[in-house]
């Protein structure tokens, strides 16, 4: 499985049989360049402009933006309903966590979650192999909360997202505070991380910061 970071909360996940899943695509006002990729599936955690822009280059994908469970061959996708704030959605509404299962690998994209999951939500998420987690605060969980979520979910691989970079056009906190709390990270000199089941057998947790191209 290949996981490519396109900026902000947008990833292109490519399975071994070539299925392409695009998560939370942004519009160009965010500051990142439109990725211009095609996809078979697009998942949208919530309907804010920086997470729900279906640009024309994507093609004609299946769009998943409502709670449910979906399956195509080896690929399964299901959602966990959460909130975009810590006041049960009163400030910024709802948020969908997406769980992707393919090749025996479970990838969890937390979207713009604004709170630490409760026990019920934790059980619905289940085992986590790869966690894509917002760490920039302000509109989502902050670095301290993100570190707590990592401890709670016990993923094998953590990829931070939704934090301040030179490209981003609005204020978020940078990734540094989160990395200090979790003991540092591998700075991957690439936009893409390839994960196999063999990689997940290692005992040590990997915190991987992908490069924005």
Domain boundaries, the chain: 2-209
Domain 2-209 of CATH type 3.60.15.10:
yes
Pairing status of strand 157-161 against strand 206-209: parallel
Look at residue 133 in the predicted model and tell me its pLDDT: 98
- Per the confidence metrics, is the pTM higher than 0.85? yes
Instruction: Determine the pLDDT at residue 55.
Output: 66
pLDDT value of position 56? 61
Give the closest residue to 21 by CA, choosing from 75, 66, 82.
75
Q: Where are the alpha helices (DSSP H) in 47-186?
A: 119-125, 143-153, 176-182
At 1 the pLDDT is 96
pLDDT tens, 111-170? 999 999 999 999 999 999 999 999 999 889 999 999 999 999 999 999 999 999 998 888
Residues of the chain with pLDDT under 50: none
């Amino acid at each position: 499985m290949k996981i490519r970071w396109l900026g902000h909360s947008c990833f292109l996940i490519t399975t071994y049989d070539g299925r392409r899943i695009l998560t939370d695509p942004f519009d160009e006002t965010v500051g990142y360049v439109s990725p211009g990729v095609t996809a078979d599936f697009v998942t949208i955690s919530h309907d804010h402009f920086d997470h729900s822009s279906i640009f024309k280059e994507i093609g004609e994908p299946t769009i998943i933006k409502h709670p449910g469970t979906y399956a195509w061959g080896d690929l399964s996708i299901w959602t966990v309903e959460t909130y975009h704030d810590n006041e049960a959605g009163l400030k910024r509404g709802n948020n969908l966590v997406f769980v992707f299962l393919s090749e025996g690998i479970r990838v969890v994209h937390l979207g713009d979650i604004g709170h630490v999951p409760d026990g019920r939500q934790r059980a619905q998420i289940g085992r986590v192999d790869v966690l894509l987690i917002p760490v920039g605060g302000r509109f989502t969980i902050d670095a301290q909360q993100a570190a707590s979520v990592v401890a709670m979910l016990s993923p094998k691989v953590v990829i931070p997202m939704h934090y301040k970079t030179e490209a981003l056009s609005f204020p978020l906190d940078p990734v540094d505070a989160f990395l200090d709390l979790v003991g540092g990270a591998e700075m991957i000199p690439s936009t893409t991380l390839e994960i196999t089941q063999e990689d997940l057998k290692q005992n040590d947790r990997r915190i991987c910061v992908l490069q924005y191209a």
